Structure 1
């Protein structure tokens, strides 16, 4: 069984009164590849900043086994 590299549970991210992310759960295993698509202002860049650690979630938790590669 492949190792879980990233796990997100009950995560929200808000800037003031504006909630930009609401993720129930996400699990990424070793060697998985994911893509992030959406309209302007939908939270794509905020999600990447959350994964790299420059933003902290308003609620919930992000657990990373090791480095996440972003291209």
Structure 2
């Protein structure tokens, strides 16, 4: 294992379990291992339907809002 991958794994250990699982699925997928379909809860399906409706209405985040969000996350 490379030093960079070891560092990444060490960093991920401190994240919540559900985030660790999602990152593990992504890594396995990149490595060529097929991953099972993730089933959404009814709440997640409703959230997705609302997001689709917002997109259909043309409701998107402004560039200014996105810059604000990204700036807060990097501080």
TM-score range, shorter chain: under 0.3
TM-score (norm 1): 0.26
Higher relative contact order (CA 8 A, sep 6+): 1
Q: Which has the higher strand share?
A: 1
Larger Rg: 2
